[in-house]
Structure 1
Amino acid sequence: MRYPYGTNLTTLIALLQACAQHKNLRKGKEIHAYILISGFLCSPLSTTSLINMYSKCNSITDALTIFDTSTHHQNQNLFAYNAIVAGLIANDMPRPALESYWGMRLAGIRPDKFTFPCVIKACSDVKEILEGRKVHGLLFKFGLELDIFVGSALVHSYLKFGFTDEAHQLFEELPIRDVVLWNAMINGFAQIGQLGMALEACKKMVEEGVVLSNFTVTGILSIFSMMGDLNNGRAIHGFAMKMGYDSGVAVLNALIDLYGKCKWVEDALKIFEMMPEKDIFSWNSILCVQEQFGDHGGSLRFFDRMLRAGVKPDLVTVTTVLPACTHLAALMHGREIHGHMIINELEKDGDDKDDDVYVKNAVMDMYVKCGSMREARLVFDKMNYKDAASWNIMIMGYGMHGFGGEALDMFHGMCEAQLRPDEVTFVGVLSACSHVGLVSQGQEFLVQMQSQYGVVPTIEHYTCVIDMLGRAGQLEEAYELVSAMPIEANPVVWRSFLAACRLHGNATLAEVAAQQVYELEPEHCGSYVLMSNTYGAVGRYEEVSEVRYTMKQQNVKKAPGCSWIELSDGVHIFVTGDRTHPEDYLIYARLNSLTIRMYEHGY
């Protein structure tokens, strides 16, 4: 790498700042190399600038390496500490940020007004209330209790802790109420769900003549988004356009979120497409909109566009788009997203174990729903921390795919890990018993779940057991349980029982179940179809005609079946009787061939 002869430290620092601003990590590393060979690394200014550059380029590991190395050069001064604390906070690592702050105090370095806002945010992020109060006490010692930036951070922190009275008292004591302080109040109230208080703060801010910032407008839009208030949201949109606030990316992102949550998808898409620049929050917002309205294919298309645009996915991205793979059973897309997580180090254990387990649970759930229990188990086994949901996903998955023994092994493993089974756990366990015919064990679990684990059986648990008895052909026992259970049977219970009657050709009990479903859900087509098939299976064709006539009289129509498969060129959707697929001739030819072979084999 060559730079003009005579390049000095001031120029290199300016170049590092430019790299940080544009998140150009590759060029930043080149300048870092030049600093090394030029002997400038001993300068405290270069150390601080490098930490700042790496932090803003989301390469916090490199930033920490620079910070740790600077110990040997005695460059760990106030500026280096401020840079690493701010960098850790910006990269969502509040616990290490607090640890760096404690190291700073042990080193005898006095914090300043740039240190405390970051430390206060770290305390609120990890819910360190006691440490937050200690920091508040230090502000008086260092004469910073009236500093507007420190005060704003403190107000926001107290609101995040839910201490509204103390936050309001601090607000009143600060000598200057600028837009930063008002924004802290507005967004603090909004984050704890006090939307009325947030709007009241907005009103007072305007009354005091404080000029709104882009951040204020974003906060107000977020409030109306949470309230689902489209009319007032539109009014703020109009105000933003009139005052020129609508050119900011953050404001446009908030508008996408507003219109998405208010079910105006076209407006959200229109704003997204007209944005001259899109950041990671823009892409995450539009992905959320797609998922909220069940356009899972759209989610995957936007994710592909995001990657082509060179935007790296973050944890929000992957947890938003993984459910699309789950709903479509798009295993190849799911693997691709998991691969991006690994490449971008999103799967590493971070500072917040709750976030880590949530993300890994989402990956596991995707593999389970896509039928790849082997890959789900690999993710599960590599997890350092597992919550109840982690075990439940695996139990449900094994049960769903017919691995009853593995599901029960998982249940026992969960108990050995001293995690208490919950309602979801027992739905998974009972479903597993149902799918593999473990009738006696399933009945035992229904009793034990309350007597041994304190979980009261719900309608879902009874449905699983009724399904289990029905699959095993024990229709009388299933009917007795439906009649005796302490919860009134809903249509799902009766349909499950009806399906079992149809499976075993018991038209008498099927009529009882069908009559119950007709009364509870007279317009549900599934029950009529099951009853018709039951009569057909036992040769009662007059009753088949009667059921179909009743359907016609009640205007009950059977929804066409729909399925899809994932191939290398995308997801292909098929509907009953559909001839729109470009290869429909080949598809139906193969279908007819398979039908003939089935007849030949006696099916």
Structure 2
Amino acid sequence: MAYLLTLLRLSLLLQLLLGLLPLIRLLLPAKDRRTRSTIGHTLVSCKWVFVIKHAADGTVDRLKARLVARGFTQQHGLDYEEIFSLVAKLNTTGGDLLSALHLFDVLPQPNVFAWTPIIAFLSRSGDHLLCLNAYSRMRAAGISPDGYVLPVAIRSARPTFFTTTALHADAVKFGAATNIYVNNALITAYADSGDIVSARLVFASMDARNLLSWNSMISAFSSAGSIHTLPELLLAMASDGYDPDIVTWNIIMDGFCRAGRCAEAVEIFDRIADPNVVSYTTIILGHARSMHHEDALEIFRRMVGGGTCPPDQDTLSCVVACCRHLGAPNAGREVHARGIKTLEPAAFYCSAGAALVAIYAASNRITTAKRVFGLMDPADLMKENALIAGLAHAGMTGEAVDHFKAMQSRGIGTDPTTISSVLPACSMIQVQQIHAHAIRIYYDHATEVSNALISAYARSGCIAAARSMFSAAHLTRDVVTWNSMITAYGSHGLGGEALALAREMAQVGPRPNTITFTSILAACSHAGLVDQGLEWFERLTKEMSLAPVTAQYACMVDMLSRAGRFEEAVMFIRKMGVRASAGVWGAIMAASRAHGNVEFGKLAFDELAVIEPENAGNYVTMAGIYARAGRWEEGKIVRRMMERKCEVKPSGYSWIQME
């Protein structure tokens, strides 16, 4: 039996090596490859060009081309049908790499027209490094590039500035610098590498431009955030005789969305007479990037409600991500149903499966989450990360840690996201174990992991370890790192340290965001630093132009009411400019109970009775305030109100174990 197994392994190894031979042959230098047969004499170049072009160029008369090519290949002993099928296969998405490489086994002297479909196929397949390698081999063989192969190579080079520059030099050297398709590709490549100046110089040097040229230039400025230049470009485009098409408007919409100006992007979208799927995806993705997830969902509903433009894979994956951010499982189910109805299930789950797993797990629908998990690719690490994060978010910490351990036992690799997903579910000892695992696989300095470790150590009560992680991450800190440490100090009542770190962040760190705002105010509230909290609120809103949201207002009200400054807290609510949430009034009522202040407790209770009339906790708190003040009759009235408006929970029972 062992002998047979050995023979089987050798046979499989031999088949693998034979399958890799065409790839090895292409990657070898041209001088090391085997000399090809010239079939007695050098082939006539122009005829061979015709053979290749007739398969690649749809404008050639197919019947005539077949007849001429068949006669030529038969004359020189070549297998015409094999050559034709291989070249045609390169121009379809169903081709494969081995077929592309096999073309070189039947071409006696491949020229630029033979290399072009090979390079194009590799670029279309996403093998950009191999595509550029093939271009280099072509150049090493002494073959000059033309206006067909250069745009393909340039598209594979972006966004690498130096490779783009080298290909630009080739275009100048071989007389293709005036080719409109080469220049269009160069504009896009330079823009993708962040060199808007070179993109503009190429555009300015063009003697003739087409609509693609203008769209490429508009895309370059939009991607660079230069929205103010777009009106000037549109006027110049009109004077050149070109009207914007739907591609132009999609590019402009994307530029406004990237700049955070979603309202203006919507105005452009509404002016498009017949928006296509790219238009909808662009505006939905733009709102998602700006954290306007509800608006993104509304546009999606408008899209599917019209019925004329079905969503594609990109649209659906973006909308599922919006549902995940909103914590909206019902909307997620709707998009899930739409996805499996519109797309092939494998394609849909490939792009949106991880987000669906997270949505269902976070809403305690673990069975559904695991069902989606089972339908996804077994090798997909994203689904593992999503399930762990969802279990942790749902409070099922034991299952989250067990799933992580099962991954290790099955030999499934981990990445920084896996580690950062499981840490919120860990106890102190488990945090240390995961930290050791991260060190062992060299992920301990990954920013995502460092941030999660700071929060995990702080949550476990070890503020010294959290500070040590923050200090060790001095080269990779981002805004989340600073926010995590400020939050850690605040949750431990170390308001002074939190504010000192906030001042350091303002001087040497990244720009504070809305999470930083909330963390600073929460730290001031927990430490009783009322005056400092008021100063930071003014500084963050005026100097740093951060618009306060409900969470920050709640922190301010909580801070003032904890200090017994109820008049200021209520005045602050009146000046908010937005309707106070239940959390804001709840902070006042909780502080009123602590301070025994019936007046402001009653004020907060009256507001809460309108906002959430069925919340029994509010009635219990108000009854307690009355009882503490000795106003028993009023307390009884509140409890009777609770019995009428709220669902009364059954009494609980305590269990003891008898020997």
| TM-score of the superposed pair, with normalisation by structure 1 | 0.61
Tell me whether 1:195 sits opposite 2:195 in the alignment.
no
The residue number in structure 2 matching 1:299 is: 498
1:179 matched to 2:381 = yes
- Using the alignment, how far apart are the partners of 1:116 and 1:104 within structure 2? 11
Q: What is residue 533 of structure 2 aligned with on the other side?
A: 333
DSSP-derived class of the 1:146 partner: helix
CA apart distance, 1:298: 0.8
Corresponding residue for residue 313 of structure 2? 113
- Counterpart residue number, 1:445: 634
Structure 1's unaligned 5+ residue stretches are 20-26, 349-355, 456-603
CA drift at 1:101: 0.6
Quote the offset at 1:128 in angstroms. Answer: 4.6
- Superposed CA RMSD in Å reads 3.7
Distance 1:447 1:142, change over 3 A: closer
Query: 1:239 maps to what in 2?
Result: 437
2:219 to 13, 33, 45: 13
User: Taking CA–CA contacts closer than 8 Å with sequence separation of 6 or more, which of the two structures ends up with the larger relative contact order?
Assistant: 1
Give the drift of 1:296: 0.7
| C-alpha displacement of 1:135 | 2.5
Q: Deviations over 1:368-399 (max 9, x none)?
A: 34565454224322464444443344456679
Shift of 1:269: 1.6
Contact 1:42 1:73 in 2 (8 A): no
Is the 2:455–2:484 Cα contact (8 Å) retained in structure 1? yes
Residue number among 290, 303, 323 corresponding to 1:123 in the alignment: 323
Question: Given residue 619 of structure 2, which amino acid in structure 1 is its aligned partner?
Answer: D
Query: Do the aligned partners of residues 16 and 449 (structure 1) sit closer, same or farther apart at CA in structure 2, a change above 3 Å counting?
Result: same
Q: Is the 8 A contact 2:323 2:332 kept in 1?
A: yes
Aligned: 1:84 with 2:283: yes
Gaps of 5+ in 2: 1-195, 205-212, 645-659
| TM superposition shift of 1:285 | 0.7
Q: Any conservation in 1 of the 2:221–2:230 contact (CA below 8 Å)?
A: no
Quote the offset at 1:265 in angstroms.
2.1
1:12 CA drift (Å)? 5.2
SS at match of 1:246: coil
CA contact (8 A) 1:67 1:76 kept: no
Alpha-carbon deviations, 1:398-453, whole Å to 9, x = none? 7989986566555556557774643333455677xx6xxxx7xx354344343554
SS at 1:70 equivalent:
helix
**Which residue number corresponds to residue 317 of structure 1?**
516
CA distance in 1, matches of 2:245, 2:279: 11
Note if 1:361 corresponds to 2:554: yes
Counterpart CA distance in 2 for 1:155 and 1:213 is: 18
Counterpart CA distance in 1 for 2:374 and 2:394 is 20
Count residues in correspondence: 424
Which amino acid in structure 2 is aligned with residue 157 of structure 1?
A: I
Alignment of 1:22-41 (within 5 A): 27-30=225-228, 32=230, 35=233, 38-39=236-237
Give the match for residue 419 of structure 2. 217
Counterpart of 1:229 (choices 419, 422, 428) is: 428
CA distance in 2, matches of 1:131, 1:244: 39
* Structure 1 segment 407-418 matched on structure 2, within 5 A: 408=602, 411-412=605-606, 415=609
Q: Which residue of 1 aligns with 2:470?
A: 272
The aligned counterpart of 1:139 is 339
Work out the CA distance in 2 between the residues paired with 1:200 and 1:406.
Answer: 48
Change in 2 beyond 3 A, CA 1:191/1:270 = same
Paired letter, 1:155: V
Compared with structure 1, are the counterparts of its residues 412 and 320 closer, same or farther at alpha carbon in structure 2 (3 Å cutoff)?
same
1:70: how far off?
Answer: 3.2
**1-structure distance, mates of 2:589, 2:397:** 40
Give the structure 2 partner of residue 561 of structure 1.
Answer: none
Alignment-mate amino acid for residue 428 of structure 2: D
SS state at 1:240 partner: helix
Q: Which residue of 2 aligns with 1:586?
A: none
Partner of 1:562: none
TM-aligned CA deviation for residue 54 of structure 1:
5.3
Please give the per-residue CA displacement for 1:36-64, whole angstroms capped at 9, x wherever unaligned: 5655994555554555555556x2xx023
Determine if contact 2:203/2:217 at 8 Å carries over to the other structure. Answer: no
Q: Secondary structure at the match of 1:294?
A: coil
Alignment of 1:338-353 (within 5 A): 340-341=540-541, 344=545, 346-347=547-548
After TM superposition, the score normalised by the length of structure 2 is 0.56
CA contact (8 A) 2:470 2:485 kept: yes
- Kindly indicate whether the alpha-carbon contact (under 8 Å) linking 2:622 and 2:635 is maintained by their aligned counterparts in 1: no
Q: CA deviation at 1:297?
A: 0.5
Larger Rg: 2
Q: Which amino acid is the alignment partner of residue 139 of structure 1?
A: G
Deviation sequence 1:539-595 (CA, Å, 0-9, x none): xxxxxxxxxxxxxxxxxxxxxxxxxxxxxxxxxxxxxxxxxxxxxxxxxxxxxxxxx
* Aligned position for 1:390: 584
The 1:301–1:427 alpha-carbon spacing in structure 2 relative to 1, beyond 3 Å, is farther
Among 360, 376, 380, which residue is 2:569 paired with? 376
CA-to-aligned-CA distance 1:183-212 (integer Å, 9 cap, x gap): 222222222122333233334434554432
Q: Distance in 2 between matches of 1:49 and 1:315?
A: 29
Aligned to 2:152: none
Q: Is the 8 A contact 1:67 1:80 kept in 2?
A: no
C-alpha distance in 2, partners of 1:237/1:396?
Answer: 38
Any runs of at least 4 consecutive aligned residues in structure 1 with deviations exceeding 6 A, and if so which? 396-404
Task: Report the counterpart of residue 3 of structure 2 in structure 1.
Answer: none
Q: Is residue 425 of structure 1 aligned with residue 425 of structure 2?
A: no
